[in-house]
């Protein structure tokens, strides 16, 4: 199943189910008025979902108003972001002469979840001097996950898959990292692509709890990268189990993969500016690629082997607040 959120006069918007080709949609109705309500009422909503799907297959529905779509889930109770692509971490360590992080656990932090920018929103920042960067990621949305859930059990708690742009302010990040107390200023609100899908929608591209799609990234209309999500050192089920070791995860928890990265970066590129700058520092001793400024545009699309884009596209411009 495919879902999106129409903007309305509420913070959560109106949940719609999309047809198999993504062109038409119907509201799910009272059983699940929003995406957050859907994951909170997943079992109870199944009859309504089945009926809505039958109506769509019978030809009902209205055209999807692409410009009227919000983030697939406009807000939630919790956003947990991982960093589980080894190449990305290794490049950062080499470029900045950082010691390797000695752990067998996935890296994860808790970020801002009270809003996710929509896929075509302009993104405001106070200053280009803060080092404006994007991070192309994939993510999941969970059902309620009891404390102590194992990775194997967590597979059944992953309800929806999403695509995320985790905005980062690189000039502020080192300052906050030195405190040892985590990020706040360096991690503003993220953006989310317009469509959330159930894992079965990806077919073979959902393997080992990984979203095995190329993430096509364009910066100001030029190809920037197309790394594949299969390179995760930990699957999403393992990230869920990690997060739930000492706490329940509320239904609607969103967990990100961290920047999609590949050991073949020389041929497939990257999913954030910081990684490219690290590659330049290793090769040439200094970075050459600038961070984003007002007017710059970023475009991201998770692309399947058949050319389809299951999550739709994030296409956004940086503006100064």
Pick the CATH number of 79-320 from 3.90.79.10, 3.40.50.410, 3.40.718.10, 3.90.850.10: 3.90.850.10
Looking at residue 241, what DSSP letter applies?
Answer: H
Tell me what pLDDT residue 66 has. 75
Tell me what pLDDT residue 89 has. 84
Tell me what pLDDT residue 91 has. 86
**Structure tokens of 27?**
């509201």
Q: Which residues contact 308 (CB under 8 A, 6 or more apart)?
A: none
Contact of 191 with 316, CB cutoff 8 Å: yes
Tell me what pLDDT residue 92 has. 81
**Structure tokens of 251?**
């239904």
* pLDDT tens across the length of the chain (321 residues): 999 999 999 999 999 999 999 999 999 999 999 999 999 999 999 999 999 999 999 999 999 987 889 999 999 999 999 999 998 888 888 877 777 777 889 999 999 999 999 999 999 999 999 999 999 999 999 999 999 999 999 999 999 999 999 999 999 988 888 888 888 999 999 999 999 999 999 999 999 999 999 999 999 999 999 999 999 999 999 999 999 999 999 999 999 999 999 999 999 999 999 999 999 999 999 999 999 999 999 999 999 999 999 999 999 999 999
Residues linked to residue 214 through DSSP beta bridges, in sequence order: 228, 303
**What are the extents of the domains in the chain?**
2-68, 79-320
Tell me what pLDDT residue 102 has. 77
What's the pTM?
0.96
Contact of 219 with 289, CB cutoff 8 Å: no
Using CB atoms within 10 A of its CB, is residue 151 exposed (0-12), middle (13-18) or buried (19+)?
A: middle
Q: Give the number of C-alpha atoms closer than 13 A to the C-alpha of residue 47, restricted to the C-beta side.
A: 3
Distance of CA 22 to CAs 46, 63, 138, 292, 302, Å? 20, 9, 19, 32, 15
């Amino acid at each position: 199943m495919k879902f999106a959120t129409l903007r309305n006069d509420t913070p959560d918007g109106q949940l719609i189910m999309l047809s198999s080709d993504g062109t038409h949609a119907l509201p799910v109705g009272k059983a699940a008025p929003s995406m957050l309500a859907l994951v909170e009422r997943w079992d109870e909503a199944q009859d309504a979902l089945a009926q809505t799907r039958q109506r769509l297959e019978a030809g009902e529905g209205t055209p999807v108003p692409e410009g009227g779509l919000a983030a697939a889930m406009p807000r939630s109770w919790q956003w947990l972001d991982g960093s589980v692509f080894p190449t990305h971490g290794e490049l950062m360590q080499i470029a900045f002469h950082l010691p390797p992080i000695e752990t067998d656990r996935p890296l994860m932090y808790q970020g801002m979840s009270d809003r996710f920018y929509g896929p075509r929103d302009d993104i405001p920042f106070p200053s280009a001097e803060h080092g404006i960067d994007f991070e192309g990621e994939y993510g999941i949305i969970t059902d309620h996950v009891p404390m102590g859930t194992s990775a194997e059990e967590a597979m059944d708690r992953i309800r929806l898959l999403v695509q995320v742009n985790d905005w980062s302010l690189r000039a502020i990040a080192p300052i906050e990292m030195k405190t040892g107390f985590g990020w706040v200023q360096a991690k503003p609100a993220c953006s989310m692509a317009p469509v959330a899908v159930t894992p079965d929608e990806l077919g073979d591209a959902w393997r080992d709890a990984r979203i095995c799609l190329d993430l096509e990234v364009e910066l100001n209309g030029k190809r920037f990268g197309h790394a594949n999500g299969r390179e995760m050192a930990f699957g999403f089920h393992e990230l869920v189990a990690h997060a739930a070791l000492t706490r329940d995860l509320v239904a609607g928890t969103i967990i990100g993969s961290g920047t999609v990265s590949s050991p073949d970066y020389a041929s497939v590129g990257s999913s954030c500016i910081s990684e490219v700058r690290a590659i330049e520092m290793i090769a040439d001793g200094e970075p050459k690629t600038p961070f984003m400024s007002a007017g710059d545009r970023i475009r991201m699309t998770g692309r399947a082997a058949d050319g389809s884009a299951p999550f739709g596209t994030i296409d956004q411009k940086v503006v100064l607040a």
